[in-house]
Amino acid sequence: MGRLRARSVSTAIATAILMTLINSVHAQQAVTKDKIIGTWKLLSFYDESVESGKKTNVLGADPRGYLIFTADDRVALIYVAASRETPKSLPPTATEAAALFNSMLAYIGRYKIDPTPTEGMTTMIVPAEIASNPLIEGRDRGFLVRAEGSKLIFKTNPPTRNPATGEMTTRNVILEREP
């Protein structure tokens, strides 16, 4: 009787583990064009140091922004720091204009999705056609992307130099689908 009970417990544990793995696979959905088209609200935008693992908010706490994917393979985004100060008048002073520029990221381009998974994520390439920083225009920017429920998670691939510190980092973005 003891062996039968032990076998039943082992079977129950194995079933629970298998169900957890199945649920985990369902939670991380493959990223396909039809699943990303639409508007996504920015929740988090941070760099993670390749060397130390330290995470640093790129645009401070609680950044604001949206990313939009269209059916014709276009992507547009604007991300801004929540702490941006409104200029005292128009036009802004040189100092105010520099602060505004340094507290935002915006670009538009075309996206390409590689259906072959990498590290359990989908590879996406986005060459910016027009950008708030001309240095990224025309350059292929690689991302690993995964979907988890209503969230879309991006990580730069390969790691890049943080423009402010020069440190090698992965840039990470977490977005939530807008209704």
Distances (CA, A) of 8 to 1, 4, 12, 19, 149: 11, 6, 6, 16, 33
Q: Is residue 2 predicted with pLDDT exceeding 90?
A: no
> Is residue 22 very low, low, confident or very high in pLDDT (cuts 50, 70, 90)?
very low
58-70 average pLDDT score: 96
Average pLDDT, the chain: 86
From CA 177, how far away is CA 37, in angstroms rounded?
10
Confidence of residue 176 (pLDDT cuts 50, 70, 90): very high
Structure tokens at 131: 């950008």
How far is it, in rounded angstroms, from Cα 4 to Cα 156?
51
Please give the Cα distance from 103 to 176 (Å, whole number).
Answer: 21
DSSP state of 30: -
pTM value is: 0.80
Q: What is the pairing mode between strands 140-148 and 121-131?
A: antiparallel
| Residues 170, 154: Cα–Cα separation, whole Å | 10
| Euclidean distance between CA atoms 91 and 109, whole angstroms | 29
Token pair belonging to 7: 């076998």
Q: What local confidence, expressed as pLDDT, does residue 4 receive?
A: 54
